Amino acid sequence: MSPTHTRVTTPPADLDPCGREEHPDCGIRDVLDRIGDKWSVLVIVELARGPRRFRELQRAVDGISQRMLTLTVRRLERDGLVLRTVYPTVPAQVDYRLTDTGAGITHLVKALADWSLAHRAAIAEARHAYDLAHPGHDIR
């Protein structure tokens, strides 16, 4: 039959913009603002393999500009995920390593990567089908 229930949800979404009850909306924004950018995760992944110097990181991440690497590691340092150590040699030498907190995030990253690999094919297929069904409809 047809849906007879008129009111559907319409909860008081005004109060408490964060997560009332138990759903985790708000916390999520926090993480995503931190690792959702273009490079942070890749840097974390590389650092998860061991301490790295600046140039090593730049070579490993492949494609990152000097400016973005600087910004990325600085933000990670600011959030306490990465420890930055400067050796007053000449020329300068700086190494980066994950803090304990930063190391903990690698588990999440791993889970993300696993899920992605597991569903990559399905997603690609869905996209292909969508694009066939909606020619000229550009939403990218």
Partner DNA sequence: CCGAATCCCAAATGATACTG
Partner DNA sequence: CAGTATCATTTGGGATTCGG
Residues in touch with DNA (CB under 7 A):
3, 8, 37-39, 53-56, 63-68, 70-71, 73-74, 84, 86, 91-95, 140
Site string for its own copies, 78-97 (x = CB under 8 A): xxxx----------------
Least Å distance between CB 7 and DNA?
Answer: 10
Three-state SS string across 80-134, please? CCEEEEEECCCCCEEEEEECHHHHHHHHHHHHHHHHHHHHHHHHHHHHHHHHHHC
Residue type, 72: T
57 to each of 18, 31, 46, 64, 88, how far by Cα in Å?
36, 22, 7, 9, 19
Nearer to its own copies by Cβ, of 136 and 140: the residue is 140
Q: In whole angstroms, give the CA distance from residue 137 to residue 140.
A: 9
> Which residues of the shown chain bind its own copies in the complex (CB under 8 A)?
8-11, 13, 17, 23-25, 27-32, 34-37, 41-42, 45-46, 49-50, 52-53, 55-56, 58-60, 62-63, 71, 74-75, 77-81, 101, 104-105, 108-117, 119-120, 122-123, 125-127, 130-131, 139-140
